[in-house]
Amino acid sequence: MNHIMYKSDVTITPRDLSEVFQASGIKRPYDDLDRLQQMLDHANVLVTAWDQEKIVGVARGLTDFSYCCYLSDLAVDEAYQHQGIGKELIEQVKAELNEQVALILLSAPAAMDYYPKVGFDKIDNGYIIKRKN
């Protein structure tokens, strides 16, 4: 098993984010580097997973550090999945927060069985106004 390092103190580029999104299979606008830059600029929690110099995972969130945190992205390179990297990224995000902060996310249909395994409870009281693109 590879030795994975987790970092919350590094700046990544839109290209780094694009590479993780593409390698993970997550549905994100990985070919729109300007949009990815905005996603990075406006996130206030970012934890990355690294195998040596290669970025292999990312958790990106938006939070007030007091009440809630929306975990907008959790992506792990498919070649590195099933090694606990996603779970550890979530733990690292939680460590950036405190016990008063709820961690909230929207799951891709394919990941619905994953999140209960890493400590999330399913809720039925959410709503969404979907993006137009």
68-76 and 45-51 as β-strands: parallel, antiparallel, unpaired?
A: unpaired
Nearest to 85 by CA among 115, 60, 113, 58: 58
* Residue 55 pLDDT: 97
Alpha-carbon distance of 93 to 18, in angstroms, equals 20
* pLDDT tens-place string over residues 60-76: 999 999 999 999 999 99
39 band by pLDDT with thresholds 50, 70 and 90: very high
Please report the domains of the chain, with CATH numbers, ordered by start residue: 4-117 (3.40.630.30)
